Structure 1
Amino acid sequence: MTDTGGGTEQGVFPGMPEPLWGGSPSKLLAFLDCPRRYRMTYLDVPRPTPRHQRAHTSVGIAVHNALRDVWDLDAPTPQEGGRLLERAWIDVGFRDAAQSARWRARMRDAVVTYLERFGPPVRPIGIERTVSLLSDDLRLQGRVDRLDDRGGELVVVDYKTSRTVPTDDDARTSLPLALYAAAVWKMLRRPVSRVELHHVPSGTVVGHDHTGESIRRHVERARSIMHDARTADADHAAHGTASEMFPPVTGPLCGWCDLRAHCPEGQAAGPEKSDWAALGED
């Protein structure tokens, strides 16, 4: 699933209601994970320059593009999906050309196998479909990787390419999946309960069947995070980078942060990971 970034604060005049906070699930999670990274990503102007792209990001983009474009073909087949992967390949972040070639072949085969096993028999009703959720003072927007209609039941599908294979519990607790289910439910006026994570490299599919109540709990969790983020946003508007509401959260993830060059605390937390470290065993 792809998120469509942040939002711009609306002008406020006397007597106007408080403006909506706009953003995406990834924006909410960025504030939750590390307020410092959130500030640098969404609020600082000019935005600090991030590091160059890592290999695992190149892999993820190529796989998502292939699984998107295969449905534009007159006769989509698993083999055509593999060829699209090769054409979409991004040779950035790898140790060398040989490593890139190995991973291109590996992910081509993975896409073919995935489509043979889990490609829907008919074209999905949504491919990278932009969805929006407006709930009281919360406004979210993003793109669903795939939206299936399986015998009248709508299913939200999110592709994964990380080396960690997800579990059913990951699908159950995923805030983005639940928010996108809520958005589709509201936009199409059709109940959505099933959400799935499709791990393309391993061919693993995990999922969860939400209830209306469990989706409401996720929406309220998002609203709670949003309220904290909006308070911090206002402090940033008043004090800029001197605001004290954006402390760094340091730990192992600092080695992967694309903005660690601008964060002394993150640099002190440990060494930076190599461009290809997330690929795991080669």
Structure 2
Amino acid sequence: MTTSTGRADAAQRPMSLSPSRASDFMRCPLLYRFRVIDKLPEKPSEAATRGTLVHAVLERLFDDPATERTAPRARAMVPGQWDRLLESKPELVELFAEDPRGERLSHWLEQAEELVERWFTLEDPTRLEPAERELFVETELQSGLRLRGIIDRVDVTPSGDVRVVDYKTGKAPRPEYAEGALFQMKFYALVIWRWKGLVPRRLQLVYLGSGDVLTYDPVEEDLERVERKLLALWDAIKEATETGEWLPRRTKLCGWCDYQAVCPEFGGTPPVYPLSVRPAESAGEDQGRMGPV
């Protein structure tokens, strides 16, 4: 079925799952649809862009010899990495379009520098030689589900133990929400296990916003549970894709969503669904209740 907007030719059915998109669906199935099926644009945010900038600095710092990986050196890298980011994504200039004197930009860059500097209180880069940085990982499960993602850093000890590290520029979650925060890391651990046949020794989340480090040592039973959860999640995504039934789910995060204008929860109307559908039966009944792993 071709829609009146002609978008059916451009739209594609989901072919793989990443931690971010899995989290989107668990948070709000309609959000997943807008990002994956409709590919609706989103405005860049200062917080997300600052996270990208800090990640770039921490990645490139390891290009330098160990003795040169200092906090002043890392802070000094921030403006240059911001220029590189603008070159690759010119649209980011809109973030500070209404800042003619550059005061907001200066404060924003200073915040990024502070996050970078705080990292040195949590880890010692002079003693680290990452095996991988910004590593793209991908594997296909026996079910045919393809999992993929990008890991910030992978450390390997001389004995072969693997540590998966992810930087977060926000604050660490409260203990009752730690399990949800580890979902992304368990996802990566599952991919590595099914891809390489080994379970990472440690998963580590480094929260630069609060100066906390959250660690978890997974075992195979953990990852098997994650795999079952992802398979159930993928079944729900396929069902929604085939029926076109993507249920919105209102949460505290809706206030930061760019799609309120087209969300029924806020009086909006989603764009015409760009894929062919079959008649809905009992599709989507549990979409809004997918819990964290």
The TM-score range, normalised by the shorter chain, is 0.7 to 0.9
Q: Is the 8 A contact 2:115 2:169 kept in 1?
A: no
Cα 1:110–1:22 shift into 2, 3 Å: closer
1:185 equivalent in structure 2: 193
Which structure's relative contact order is higher, taking Cα pairs within 8 Å and 6+ residues apart?
2
Separation in 2, partners of 1:188, 1:136 = 14
- Residue 109 (str. 1) matches residue 108 (str. 2): no
Match of 2:27 among 33, 42, 48: 33
| SS of the residue 1:22 aligns to | coil
Say which SS state the counterpart of residue 41 (structure 2) adopts.
Answer: coil
Residues 220-277 of structure 1: per-residue CA shift (max 9 Å, x gap) = 1111111100111122xxxxxxx3x112112332210122232242368xxxxxxxxx
Could you state the TM-score of these two structures normalised by the residue count of structure 2?
0.73
Please say if 1:119 is aligned against 2:124. Answer: yes
Task: Decide which structure has greater strand share.
Answer: 1
The answer as to whether partners of 1:250 and 1:265 remain within 8 angstroms in 2 is: yes
Q: Is the 8 A contact 1:156 1:195 kept in 2?
A: yes
Cα distance in structure 2, aligned partners of 1:233 and 1:77: 48
2 CA distance for matches of 1:175 and 1:202? 20
The Cα shift of 1:139 comes to: 1.1
Change (3 A) 1:159 1:266: farther
Q: How does 1:1-282 map to 2 (within 5 A)?
A: 9=13, 21-44=15-38, 47-50=39-42, 52-75=43-66, 76-78=68-70, 79-89=72-82, 93=95, 96=99, 97-115=102-120, 117-120=122-125, 121-137=127-143, 138-152=145-159, 153-162=161-170, 164-166=171-173, 170=177, 172-173=179-180, 174-235=182-243, 243=244, 245-266=245-266
* TM-score of the superposed pair, with normalisation by structure 1: 0.75
Partner-residue secondary structure (3-state), 2:44:
coil
Please tell me the residue identity of whatever aligns with 1:253.
Answer: L
Supply the distance in 1 between the matched residues of 2:174 and 2:135 (Cα, whole angstroms). 24
**Which secondary structure state, in structure 2, belongs to the residue aligned with residue 191 of structure 1?**
coil
Counterpart of 2:224 in 1: which secondary structure?
Answer: helix
- Local SS of the residue matching 1:118: coil
Asked if structure 2 preserves the Cα contact closer than 8 Å seen for 1:66 and 1:84, the reply is yes
Superposition CA RMSD, Å:
2.6
- AA aligned to 1:144 is I
On the 8 A contact 1:25/1:176 being kept in 2, the answer is yes
AA aligned to 1:227 is: D
- In structure 2, the partner of 1:277 is none
How far residue 64 of structure 1 moved from its aligned partner, in angstroms, is 0.8
Q: Letter of the aligned partner of 2:50 in structure 1? A: V
1:102-125: CA deviation from partner (whole Å, max 9, x where unpaired): 232233133133135403413201
> 1:49 is paired with a residue of what secondary structure?
coil
Task: Kindly tell me the number of residue pairs found equivalent between the two proteins.
Answer: 240
Higher alpha-carbon deviation: 202-211 or 116-125: 116-125
